[in-house]
């Protein structure tokens, strides 16, 4: 069973089992939500990420949350938007799916996603939110797994886009 909701918040403040980081393939930090998560988690997060040897676009890897209220961080790498003709939607869907697979494999129950790829990577929020909601909705956890998924929006505009889809 999977439940979906959307909130406007700073994802680093959410006390969930895991927050998802919109990282880059080096996993060595950056700006945007990646920068905010590393700042809030502290230097141990970067040390843990160094041991992961990067992450391909569309894949996901997990670390502890360290100083974050969230117990874990699931790092995923979204596609850069190039107009939609280079498989961006499939790669973005894979980010959400692989994060959910990792969360259920670790027995996590509450999970929060930022709007992956919709900042620096330029993916239009309306198109990205459709991919996000349909991919999460279409995920069927193993029998008995319960997943509460929160789409954590950083702006009222983004919250409105997700709310209209939920």
Binding site for ligand APR (CB under 6 A): 10-12, 22-24, 30-36, 78, 114-121, 152, 154, 158
CA dist 37 and 17 (Å) reads 15
> 24-33 contacts: CB < 8 A, separation 24 or more?
24/77, 25/54, 25/55, 25/56, 25/57, 25/77, 26/54, 27/52, 27/54, 27/55, 27/61, 27/75, 27/77, 30/120, 31/120, 32/119, 32/120, 33/114, 33/119, 33/154
- Told to judge if 142 belongs to the known catalytic residues of this protein, a careful annotator would answer no
Q: How far is the CB of 85 from ligand APR (least distance, A)?
A: 19
Nearer to ligand APR, 86 or 140 (CB): 86
Shortest distance in whole angstroms from residue 145 CB to ligand APR: 25
Closest to ligand APR by CB, 1 vs 47, is 47
Beta carbon of residue 139, minimum distance to ligand APR (angstroms, whole number):
20
Tokens of 62: 């997990």
Kindly tell me which of 23 and 73 has the beta carbon lying closer to ligand APR. 23
- For residues 131 and 89, the answer to whether their CB atoms sit within 8 Å is yes
Q: Indicate which residue of 10, 17, 34, 44 is catalytic.
A: 34
SS3 162: helix
Query: Whose Cβ is closer to ligand APR: residue 4's or residue 145's?
Result: 4
Give the shortest CB-115-to-ligand APR separation in angstroms. 4
The catalytic residue positions are 34
């Amino acid at each position: 069973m999977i439940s979906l909701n959307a909130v406007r918040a700073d994802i680093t403040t959410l006390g969930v089992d895991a927050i998802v980081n919109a990282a880059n393939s080096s996993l060595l930090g950056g700006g945007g939500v990646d920068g905010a998560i590393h700042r809030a988690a502290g230097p141990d997060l970067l040390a843990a990420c160094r041991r992961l040897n990067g992450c391909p676009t569309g894949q996901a890897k997990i670390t502890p949350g360290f100083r974050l209220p969230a117990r874990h961080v699931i790092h995923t790498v979204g596609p850069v938007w190039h107009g939609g003709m280079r498989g961006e939607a499939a790669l973005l869907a894979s980010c959400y799916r692989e994060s959910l697979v990792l969360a259920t494999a670790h027995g996590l129950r509450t999970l929060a996603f930022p709007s992956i790829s919709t900042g620096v990577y330029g993916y239009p929020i309306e198109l990205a939110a459709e991919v996000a909601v349909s991919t999460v909705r279409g995920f069927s956890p193993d029998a008995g797994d319960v997943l509460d998924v929160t789409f954590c929006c950083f702006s009222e505009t983004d919250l409105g886009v997700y709310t209209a889809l939920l």
